[in-house]
Structure 1
């Protein structure tokens, strides 16, 4: 069992496990709604949208998370404006926006003397560099995500199935949509350190996809998704330690692999047990 315990004898790996686990909590809770509402493209867009802010903060020496948050919020606002007033289709507008933001981020970071290192960290994360301040920020973000999701659960459910009924019931679907976009922004920004801006959508989507076949309610799906997320972080860090691979990419790959294995296991069980829900 030394192969399992030895990596976590190093403090930086243990902090990575805790930080990645907190990111898994945020992504498991928020990602469930992203999957249910079909908002994966929005999550990807926000991930790209935070790049200019992260790049600018990296170049000038400002807090990276603050720069990413400001830029991601600006991206979310632009998406909202285009959705209401744009003449292009929703997905075309988002596609143009996130390519523009990605380009702007790379242009900004190219002015840094450590361009290659900075660009790699921005795009793919550096979970092994998580410190105590990052852990505290992730803990706060996880608490906010859980509390907001629980408080607005009825509004999210109603808005997901029929906005007219939600309005009739006084559940304010537009507010629910804004809150959900804010939660997606929070999840992307908070998880940036763990897996980077390009891979964050994998951690946001894959655990919830993996949990889907085994649950029948939204809260249960969130809980199981968090478990799959934690498992992906553990497997990814072990692979990174023993195979000398990039930690963030290993975590994202593990999450997607678990989603695939979960789907295969569910299909096999369904075939072996006729009449079971697929």
Structure 2
């Protein structure tokens, strides 16, 4: 009973329960999007998008406008900017993303530095405040999660074809360019919705950690998403517990646990494979 109390007592408080619910919703959304980010090798775009919301959020805070609107506008500009720079300047995807990534980060810091509360504003944007999530924000995150799941379902065939062979996707009339744009949009939606919980610098951990961890055990996309959702939810719960008892930053602790889950999964997978190796060798010897 004492152990059970340690695991559940922190969540008897309203703000911790809201943080848990919001975190699980974010974990679900990030698991869906993160699976495709890992499959397509779009981690750099995800990082750039996470930093791309900085200018919009900074302007919104200074103007007294809800930060989510500034984040959404900034993410949309970032998405459009990557496409324009690639086509007009004929640069590679990595180069164009890198340029806009640095520009957005620098612009965000410049804007924030003009505020009298520079330190507190910067901390809130970069690292989030999952313990400050309100009921209205929970509804917004829940709506974003439902939209993400619906769009991922609708575009599933196109995303799969795009991951396997873009040329084949074009021949099958699965609209690879539109599919890529939709995927970038989902990344932007996840970043905008999750930044309130874990901040712009740490949202990539929620996108990648659980998806990488799940990918060690599954091969099918839907199964990977489901397992990544479970791993992400456990990461949120465990991160909040650690934060509660060790008095650490909640959002950063959650993100750290999510990233750490990938390392733990890799070690467990290696252990399982090593344990199975002698058995397989024995079976092959018997067949010979």
| TM-score normalised by length of structure 2 | 0.94
* 1:3-152 correspondence runs (5 A): 3-152=6-155
Deviation at residue 92 of structure 1 after TM alignment = 2.2
Aligned residues: 276
RMSD: 1.2
Q: Which residue of 2 is the match for residue 271 of structure 1? A: 274
Q: Which moved more, 1:162-171 or 1:32-41?
A: 162-171
Counterparts of 1:188 and 1:272 in 2: how far apart (Å)? Answer: 39
4+ runs deviating over 4 angstroms? none
Per the alignment, in what secondary structure is the counterpart of residue 236 of structure 2? helix
Per the alignment, in what secondary structure is the counterpart of residue 216 of structure 2? helix
- Is 1:194 matched with 2:191? no
Per the alignment, in what secondary structure is the counterpart of residue 210 of structure 2? helix
Q: Which moved more, 1:144-153 or 1:2-11?
A: 2-11
Deviation at residue 89 of structure 1 after TM alignment = 3.1
Q: Which residue of 2 is the match for residue 256 of structure 1? A: 259
Q: Which residue of 2 is the match for residue 209 of structure 1? A: 212
Counterparts of 1:237 and 1:28 in 2: how far apart (Å)? Answer: 18
User: What's the CA shift string for 1:157-190, capped at 9, x where partnerless?
Assistant: 0111112211121111111001000000001111
Q: Which moved more, 1:166-175 or 1:199-208?
A: 166-175
User: What's the CA shift string for 1:181-232, capped at 9, x where partnerless?
Assistant: 0000001111001110001001000100000111120000000000010011
| TM-score normalised by length of structure 1 | 0.97
Deviation at residue 20 of structure 1 after TM alignment = 0.6
Counterparts of 1:127 and 1:81 in 2: how far apart (Å)? Answer: 34
Deviation at residue 257 of structure 1 after TM alignment = 1.0
User: What's the CA shift string for 1:81-119, capped at 9, x where partnerless?
Assistant: 122222443212211211111111111112222211110
Q: Paired residue for 1:158, among 130, 143, 161? A: 161
Q: Extract unaligned runs of 5+ from structure 2.
A: 282-288
